[in-house]
Amino acid sequence: MEPGEEFTVVTETAPEHSPFNVVVHDQGITVWVNSGSDAEVFDKNGDLVPCGHQRPAEGDH
């Protein structure tokens, strides 16, 4: 996700099981779904955000 974008993470896993992590960095935000967990990310319009959404191409920095 890019700075300023809004998103929602949805999961049925209990929070104490740490179903996902959100990492904020200088290029934006990364949502990591932990192994064995199931989570989906939706944009502010309610559309599903696919894995790798806006991921820089290899070698782009």
DSSP string, 11-61: E-S-GGG--EEEEEETTEEEEEEPTT--EEEEETTSPBPPTTTTPPPTT--
pTM: 0.67
pLDDT, tens only, 3-51: 778 889 898 887 777 788 888 887 778 888 887 778 888 999 999 988 8
What is the Cα 25 distance to its own chain's centre?
A: 13
**Using an 8 Å Cβ cutoff, are 29 and 22 in contact?**
yes
The pLDDT value recorded for residue 20 is 85
The pLDDT value recorded for residue 60 is 57
